[in-house]
Amino acid sequence: MRRSLLVLAAALALTGSASAYPWPFKPFNKQHPIRGFFGDPRTVYENGILAGAFDGPSFISFHQGVDISAPNGTPIYAVETGKVHYLGAATLNLVTGHDVTFQYFHIIPVAGEGQHVIAKKTVLGYVQPPFGHVHLTEIDGIHAVNPLQRGHLTPYRDRTTPRVRDVIVRNQSGDVQTPVGLCGRVELDVDAYDPQPMPVPGTYRSLPVAPALVQWSMARIGGKVVVPTKTVADFRSTLPGNGQFFGTYGKGTYENSPRFGREQYSGMPGRYLFLLSGNFDTTNVPNGNYLITVRVADVRGNHSVGTERIAILNAKSGVCPGSLAAPPTTAPPSSEPGDSAAQP
């Protein structure tokens, strides 16, 4: 038994694992407001919102840390003992002795390159104006991990519940569809959000963050499950690569206080559209009424469920009404797909 425990400890040491660590601001043992969560979308669209922003070039990524709010000029402390190495004029690494690195962004640094620093004692620098927060990333081994998971940034409590705002259906052209009479291939998105765990000062007050977990399933009303539970986003411990951003988030996603072209929409809430399915083929299930169920949760297990009823109605020919060009004077079809005859 003792040998097994030693082997396990050695494996953890090789892979890197943070123990609980304090907040980077005084008081160290008190929770501070967080305005940006691990996994939130980070989006900059080069075109304006009226100039096809979502179809144009953009800079997108997953948020790989947490943004902890504090007044500009607030002293920022080492959360663990280690050595400081600079990444840029306002960015530094705190490298520990157990394969864990902490990255600080938006900091006016005062610690020297290579300086040995002590947790909760050494001032690394000060919050850089005008940002009003420090971004803290925890890297265990080679992976950024969620600082809000248990046993990491401490103390941390969250009693808020993530919510599902809407399930959105789009056709192959990207147009939003009514959930009645769906046919062919469609895209399914969910608009979901998580309230801040505690009030954030300034223009970010009450702006939402992203849920840490999004799952969905689909069942026929009064019948069997046709899509078993699928996980489309899971930020509870780590993140997918940025190349999978639009395999996780749907088109139309943007961050809090978003930027479109030259315009910054300060104080506007973000929109978090999660891609349930980018190419759901409704012909794989019989025509009928179905219930989509979406479960969203945060890193501490607070969760809720949202549902959306859809009606699938595919034509026997396999062609969706309106998908083929027809002369303007063509009369509408006399019956719905699947009906044997028009009713008087």
> What is the pLDDT at residue 227?
98
pLDDT at residue 61 greater than cutoff 90: yes
> What is the pLDDT at residue 317?
76
Structural domain contains residue 269: yes
Average pLDDT over residues 297-326: 85
Residues 167 and 141 both lie in one domain: no
CATH code, domain carrying 55: 2.70.70.10
Structural domain contains residue 333: no
Structural domain contains residue 220: yes
> What is the pLDDT at residue 316?
81
pLDDT tens digits, residue range 101-150? 999 999 999 999 999 999 999 999 999 999 999 999 999 999 999 999 99
Global pTM? 0.89
User: Lowest-confidence range among 5-19, 63-77, 271-285, 313-327?
Assistant: 5-19
Residues 239 and 306 both lie in one domain: yes
Percent of the chain, pLDDT > 90? Answer: 85
User: What's the start-to-end Cα distance of the chain, in Å?
Assistant: 80
Band of the pLDDT at 327, cuts 50, 70, 90?
low
Residues 279 and 248 both lie in one domain: yes
Band of the pLDDT at 268, cuts 50, 70, 90?
very high
pLDDT at residue 226 greater than cutoff 70: yes
How big is the chain, counted in residues?
344
Q: How many domains does the chain have?
A: 2
Residues 85 and 186 both lie in one domain: no
Domain that holds residue 304: 163-312
Residues 186 and 298 both lie in one domain: yes
Band of the pLDDT at 34, cuts 50, 70, 90?
very high
CATH code, domain carrying 282: 2.70.50
Structural domain contains residue 329: no
Structural domain contains residue 261: yes
Q: Taking Cα atoms as reference points, which of 214, 73, 78 lies closest to residue 136?
A: 78
Residues 179 and 282 both lie in one domain: yes
Residues 95 and 231 both lie in one domain: no
Residues 136 and 178 both lie in one domain: no
Report the 3 state secondary structure along the chain: CHHHHHHHHHHHHHHCCCCCECCCCCCCCCCCCEEECCCCEEEEECCCCCCCHHHCCEEEEECCCEEEECCCCCEEECCCCEEEEEEECCEEEEECCCCEEEEEECEEECCCCCCEECCCCCEEEEECCCCCEEEEEEEECCEEECCCCCCCECCCCCCCCCEEEEEEEECCCCCECCCCCECCEEEEEEEEEECCCCCCCHHHCCCCECCCEEEEEEEECCCCEEEEEEEEEECCCECCCHHHHHHHECCCCECCCCEECCEECCCCCCECEEEEEEEEEHHHCCCEEEEEEEEEECCCCCEEEEEEEEEECCCCCCCCCCCCCCCCCCCCCCCCCCCCCCCC
Structural domain contains residue 155: no
Band of the pLDDT at 19, cuts 50, 70, 90?
confident
Structural domain contains residue 151: no
Structural domain contains residue 236: yes
